[in-house]
Every structure is written in structure tokens, then in C-alpha cells.
Amino acid sequence: MTTNDPNINEAKVKPTSSISRIWIIPILVIVIGGWMVYYQWKNQGPLITIEIQSATGIEVNKTPIKVRDLDIGQVKKITLKPDLNGVLVTARIDASAAHLLNENAKFWVVAPRISFSEVSGLNTLLSGSYIAMSANDKGKEQLHFTALERPPVTPHGTPGLHVMLKSDDEFAYKPGDPIIYKGFKVGEFEDATFNIDERVVYYDAFIEAPYHKLITNTTRFWDVSGVKLLLESNGVSVETGSLETLLANGITFGIPEGVPKGEQVLDNAFFTIYGDSTAASDARYKVAAEYLLLIDESVRGLTVGAPVEYRGIEIGNVTAINSFPAVEGNILERDYPIPVLINIYPGKARQPDTKEGLNAIKQTIRNWLQRDLRASLRMGNVLTGGLYVDLQHVPDADSDSEIAVINGYEVIPTVSNEFTQLTQKADAILDKINQLPLKEMVENVQFAVEDMRLAAESVETASSDFDLLIADIDAKALNSNLNQVLVSLDGLLKNYSEGGFNQSEIKETVDALQETMRNIQPLLLKLNQSPNSLIFSKDDEADIQPKARN
């Protein structure tokens, strides 16, 4: 409807805006979120994969990756390896730590570990396991890694010295086993690798500072694991390291007596682990003269490594016993000599440990062999029965200008030792005892014992008869007769004492007896002087003397 009233204003229609102001907030949120996503994408670190044996204790979006206990990443995914030989862990590393991802980086799972050589990771009992990383900003970039089976013994950057060790003996070591010096733990084994072709175990070990300054080119390493009870020719000895080596294997090191200190070695120097200190000390001798002994007696008690002595001084050792074809035949033959190979070291005989010293030793031994040098087996200890080789000069030895040589080895003649000689004498005595007619002697003794038994029985029988005889005597009658005799004797003495007839008769009889003795006294004197005068008459003529024939 249209009106012409001037007081009425007409409405003006304006178009409204198509975008509401309320959308500003969502748009602003989207822009900020996009910027944050871009910033996160722009600044996030790379994804890496880590191969581990088991996912025990590892959780997605929870298990952290740490360097020196600082979080630098987190596990994002866990999957099995295609060959089912372990798991693959995918983790996101912070951009600030991306420069640490190189070929020198090492990863391992930190979890509680308790063993003879270590106790570690106990703090993870409450916080849970995590993946640790060793930091090194040098090397070629790498995003795929294989985790270590156990934490590295020596953290990267620890001051000290890395050495390479080799052992072909029966003892073995594992990572974490100690290296001892004078009772102090100065290092540890880090890794072990067995070479199948060489049949030798190689070890990586680390010596901590400042003890690494003790390692020189003349240093020797040897085993001190557990307790060693050695029954040798020179006696009984007990060797042990420390309390730690009693529970786990371990080694020690030192410089042999008489060897110069030497020069300090560089990193990754190579050394050999010896069985004991003696073997380590003998390793300094580079040259040795080899000789062959042919033993006709028992070698029980003689061992490889037994000393070879000259005048009580050790100058070598036994290197082999019946372990090579030195002579023809076999041990089952009665006259087969047992070959024993020995070494004589010029260095132990105060000669230079050089080729010149070796030639001097050989020439000296050769001269002695042509005269009176002989070898014998002697007992070093009665308790152990261990034998050693003694070189001695035998005055009555058969000298020979020709020295026997078998398979390139000069032969040192042997003589029986005192023990063998005593044994031979004892055998001879036993042989003589065996030749005695012991059977006949025993039979004679048995006969004598039987006769003595019969005699004893006869004595016993006679004693019984005597007892019976004594028992038959009438003791009362005997006493009565004795009383009668005593009464008669008493009457006789009483009559004599009273001067009766019997006394005068007795006096006359005694007087007559005295007169008779006086009369026969000259006769008795004559018979005493000349007993034959009663038979031969007295004749003063001289005896007729026989005369010689004209």
C-alpha cells in the first residue's frame, strides 16, 4: 500500500553478509593446528628400527629411549621379524638427537640383571624396562640397528685402554669377567668371539685409567680363575686370585722378573692369555734347544712342563712324552724306550736369548755328550711323586765321539736314578728270598712244633702220675716213723751225755781208729811218692839204651 504522508519514512533494505563471525574461531584453531602439525612434522626426528631378541618389558608409546638417562625418543611399534628370529622395534627419535644416529651408535635393553659378575638395572623394577643408547656424533648416518644382548661393559668415552686378548686353552671368559692387578679390579672383558677355523677364542677387554699405563709391550696376561691346587715335582702349591675370581673367571697381568718395563702400547694392542704365571714368564724365551731322551724305565710322575735341571738350576722343561714317532716300534714291546722331548733355553742358562746364544748352548751340550753328560729321572717330591729331568756328569760313563741323532733330535743318553737302583737291589734281595727252601723250612718248623706238643703232653702226663703217687703216700704213717727215729736218737744222745757204757765203747773205737791211721800213714806216703813201688821192685841199674846199627 502506498501513502503520501510525508511523516512516514520508507524502510531501506540492505543485503546481509554470507560468512558469520562465529567461524573465525574454528578457522583460527585450524590454522594454529595446521601450523603445529607442520612444526611438529618439520621438527620431529627420524624413525629408526631396532632388532632385539625379545620384546619383554617393552610397550608401545610407553617405553622410552634414553641417552645418559635423558629421554630422546619413544617406541612406536613392535612387530615380528620375517624369519621369526626376534622382533623389530620402531621408535621415533627427537630431532635434537638425530645427529647421534650413526654407525657407531649402540642400543640395548636395560632390565634387572643379577649374575656372578654384575648386578645392574635394579632401578627398572619400579619404572619398567627402557632402551638405552650410547651417544657418538661421529660416523656415517644409519637408521637400522641391532641391539646388544647385554649392556656394554664400558660406556663410551670412559678413559682407559682397549686390548685384544687370545686364548686357546680350556678356560673361557664372558663379558663382565674381571681383570685383576694385585687384588684390585682394573678392567673387564667386553666381548668374546670364537674362531672355528683357528679354534681360538678372541676377547675384547678394557683397562680403566690410570691402570692402563701399566700395560706395555712386555706385559703378560695369565689365568687366575678359581683355586688351583698344583701337585708338581717341586711340591704342592695353591694359587688363587681374588674373591671375585673365586666366583667367576678372571685374569691378571704383570711383567716377568728380569724383563725390562718396555714401552706403553696403543689402543687395541694384542696379547695372549697363558695358563699360569710360569707359562707367562717362560713365554719371553724365544729360542730353545731341543733334545731327545729315550727312557727305559717307568715315566709315571713325569708330566709335560716338568723342569729340566742342571746342578739344581732349572734350564728347561719337558715338552712332549711319547707323543711323536721318535723311534720305531711300539710301547707294547718289552725293550721299547719311551721318547721324551725336552727344551733347554739359553736365556735360563745365562746366555743371550738369540741365535748366537742357542748355538753356544748346542755346542756346549755336544761337547759334554761326547764326554760324560747323562740324563736321569729324579723324584722332586715324595708326596706328589712328581719327576723331573736331571742333567749330570757321570764319571764312569762310556764316552762316544758319535752323538746319536733321531728324527733331527740329538739324543742325550740316560742312566738309572737312585730310586730305580734301590728298586733293583730290592728286587735282587726278594729273588734270593724266593730261592730259599721256605716250604721245607716251614715243614720242619711244623714237625718241631708237633714234637714240642708231644713233649708237653708227656710232661703233663708225668706230672699227673707224680701227683697220683704223692697222693698214695700215707702221710700219717710217715710221720709216725719219723717220730720213732727221733725218740731213739734222743735216747742215744742222753745215754752218751750221762757217761754210760755206750760212751766208753765209742771212746775205745775212736782210739783204735786213730792208731790204725798212724800205722798206715807211712804206706800212704810211699804210695804218694811212688805209686808203682807195690808192683815193680827197686833196681838201680841204668836202663839199657838202644844202639844204632853199624
**Can the peptide bond before residue 210 be classed as cis, meaning omega within 30 degrees of 0?**
yes
Within 8 A by CB and 6+ apart from 92, the residues are 44, 45, 46, 47, 73, 74, 76
- CA 280 to CA 283: how far, in whole Å? 5
% of the chain beyond a pLDDT of 90: 18
Across the range 80-90, mean pLDDT stands at 90
Query: Grid coordinates in use for 295?
Result: 727312557
Within 8 A by CB and 6+ apart from 114, the residues are none
- Contact status, residue 409 vs residue 371, Cβ threshold 8 Å: no
Per-residue model confidence (pLDDT) at position 452 = 83
- CA 539 to CA 542: how far, in whole Å? 8
**Tell me: the pLDDT tens digits for 333-368?**
777 888 999 999 998 888 888 999 999 999 999 999
Per-residue model confidence (pLDDT) at position 308 = 93
**Tell me: the pLDDT tens digits for 448-461?**
888 888 888 887 78
Per-residue model confidence (pLDDT) at position 356 = 92
Query: Grid coordinates in use for 255?
Result: 711383567
Beta-sheet strand order (sheet of 70-80): 106-110, 130-134, 64-67, 70-80, 87-93, 47-52, 144-146
**Tell me: the pLDDT tens digits for 11-43?**
666 665 566 677 788 888 888 888 887 777 776
3-state secondary structure 473-529: CCHHHHHHHHHHHHHHHHHHHHHHHCCCHHHHHHHHHHHHHHHHHHHCHHHHHHHHH
Per-residue model confidence (pLDDT) at position 89 = 93
- CA 75 to CA 57: how far, in whole Å? 12
**Tell me: the pLDDT tens digits for 210-267?**
999 999 999 999 988 765 555 555 555 555 555 555 556 788 999 988 788 889 999 8
| pLDDT for 135 beyond 80 | no
